[in-house]
């Protein structure tokens, strides 16, 4: 077990949860989990900087004696940034036991949760959401349930899915380990000479515009000295925020949840 196990359970759940006060003695599984998984999933398995909450995972809920978790941990899900880990039988069992223990502890204290659960969000109507997607929402103009959104309901769950369709950013996208996060926003700057420079936007405020040019150089100009054209592929999501009704949001969420293949 040499690679970091943090990513190994990345796909198991979606929304981050909270730490729970625990008084249980430290078990071998807890020590192993914290050392290998805690960086992403949190030391208590309720979610970390980049890993989901395992206590809210449907797979964990369905697991019986490691029949679901064991194969996933050992074979991984590379497409979701999760490598496989050839743990020994005792180590595998101890990690799985710890995950279940954490889930049981969190489930016993629902009032102390800080997360929004899938059940909290699943109040909409999928058919109405599909109609909104193809009609008033205008989503179908840019997206396809069999194209870019294929399996989106499996890639994102709960609050993560909600965040992705309300306003997708590099910060709430699924990233593979080591994969650079490029800003999808591009800017074209026209200099007083007529020369144009285009590249990913690096910085922008009322005074300064900055980008990284085709050669990788950081370049900046006073906004008052150049003409600027910004192309933001997710601007339509920002524009839509003020148009949604509560029903629109919940119905669209319900529809996107159905896109699991």
Q: Is the pLDDT of residue 5 over 60?
A: no
User: Which one, of 44, 21, 23, 12, lies nearest residue 111 by Cα?
Assistant: 21
At residue 20, the pLDDT reads 43
pLDDT at 67 over 70: yes
Local confidence band at 81 (pLDDT 50, 70, 90 cut-offs): low
Task: Specify the higher pLDDT residue, 75 or 254.
Answer: 254
User: Is the pLDDT assigned to residue 175 strictly greater than 60?
Assistant: no
Q: What is the pLDDT of residue 185?
A: 82
Residue 109 sits at φ, ψ, to 5 deg, of: -130, 55
- Alpha carbons 194 and 197: distance in angstroms, whole number: 10
* Predicted confidence (pLDDT) at residue 13 exceeds the cutoff of 80: no
Give yes or no for residue 31 having a pLDDT over 60: yes
Confidence check: pLDDT of 60 > 80 = yes
Confidence of residue 239 (pLDDT cuts 50, 70, 90): confident
CB contact at 8 A, 233 and 219: no
DSSP states along 86-97: ---HHHHHHHHH
Question: Does pLDDT of 183 surpass 80?
Answer: no
* Residue pLDDT, tens place only, 82-125: 666 778 899 999 999 999 998 888 888 765 555 666 777 788 99
Kindly report, residue by residue over 225-236, the tens digit of the pLDDT.
999 998 887 778
Provide the pLDDT for residue 113: 54
Q: Can you tell me the mean pLDDT for 198-207?
A: 86
* 239 contact partners, CB below 8 Å, separation of at least 6: none
Determine the average pLDDT of the residues in 192-207: 90
pLDDT of residue 4: 41
| 82 CB burial (10 A radius; 0-12, 13-18, 19+) | buried
Q: What is the mean pLDDT of the chain?
A: 78
Contacts of 36 (CB under 8 A, 6+ apart): 1, 4, 5, 6, 95
Q: How confident is the model at residue 178 (pLDDT cuts 50, 70, 90)?
A: very low
The answer to whether 14 and 121 are in contact (CB under 8 A) is: no
**pLDDT score, position 195:** 95
pLDDT over 80 at 45, yes or no: yes
Cβ(55)–Cβ(106) under 8 Å? yes
- At residue 161 the predicted structure's pLDDT band, cuts being 50, 70 and 90, is confident
**H-run or E-run covering 59:** helix 58-62
């Amino acid at each position: 077990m040499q690679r970091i196990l943090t990513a190994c359970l990345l796909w198991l759940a979606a929304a981050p949860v909270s730490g729970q006060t625990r008084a249980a003695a430290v078990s071998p599984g807890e020590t192993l989990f914290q050392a290998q998984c805690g960086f992403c999933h949190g030391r208590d398995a309720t979610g970390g900087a980049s890993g989901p909450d395992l206590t809210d995972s449907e797979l964990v809920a369905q697991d019986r004696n490691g029949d679901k978790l064991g194969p996933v941990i050992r074979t991984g899900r590379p497409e979701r940034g999760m490598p496989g880990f050839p743990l020994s039988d005792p180590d595998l069992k101890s990690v799985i036991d710890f995950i279940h223990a954490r889930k049981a502890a969190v489930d016993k204290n629902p009032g102390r949760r800080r997360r929004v659960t899938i059940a909290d969000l699943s109040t909409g109507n999928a058919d109405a959401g599909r109609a909104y997607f193809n009609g008033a929402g205008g989503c179908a103009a840019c997206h396809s349930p069999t194209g870019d959104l294929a399996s989106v309901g499996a890639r994102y769950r709960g609050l993560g899915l909600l965040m992705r369709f309300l306003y997708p950013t590099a910060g709430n996208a699924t990233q593979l380990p080591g994969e650079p996060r490029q800003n999808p926003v591009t800017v074209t700057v026209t200099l007083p000479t007529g020369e144009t420079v285009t590249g990913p936007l690096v910085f922008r405020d009322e005074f300064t515009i900055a980008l990284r040019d085709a050669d990788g150089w950081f370049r900046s100009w006073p906004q008052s000295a150049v003409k600027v054209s910004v192309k933001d592929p997710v601007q339509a999501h920002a524009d839509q925020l003020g148009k949604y009704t509560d029903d629109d949001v919940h119905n669209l969420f319900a529809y996107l949840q159905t896109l699991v293949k």
